Chains A and B, each alone.
Chain A
């Protein structure tokens, strides 16, 4: 039981390049989330998927797109990376769509945009 896994662990991009961050969970959870963590700012929600087939914007969605590929997988895409997107990205999942349900986090992806 691996929980929430994220790939890659580290990535360096040049401005304008695109990439997709992958996230998968093996807990049969319905809801999945993408956050970014910047120094001194805590976590901010980018997008979430309350259930398979649905996605919604969070607090900072600009510059990102998401795909809920199936119940297990939720990917985050940067179409044209910018230095402001340098951050640590965390994927999380929860059993139900209720926000008070415990969220389980992956280990994160450290992204640097030059």
Chain B
């Protein structure tokens, strides 16, 4: 499968714990995006990378959130001291070079904070 992959698919954690999610984009895609989706809402942008550089962060990305993309390949999203409000689907998308903005999404990581 050459699509975007995410791991884990589901994560249940207790409030206050740290969690880390991984995204593997489509190979050769140099842009990678993280979004968060809550029930009944569309995805909301969190942050994006071009190669290894983090180019933009949303105001939604509090200081408890950090994202990395070492070597411009896979990316990780870490949430420290999780809160119940962090419960959501975390989606990763990637796109290749070129003018058009076709972003391809992974299956998402569903986070439940108890």
The answer to whether A and B assemble together is no
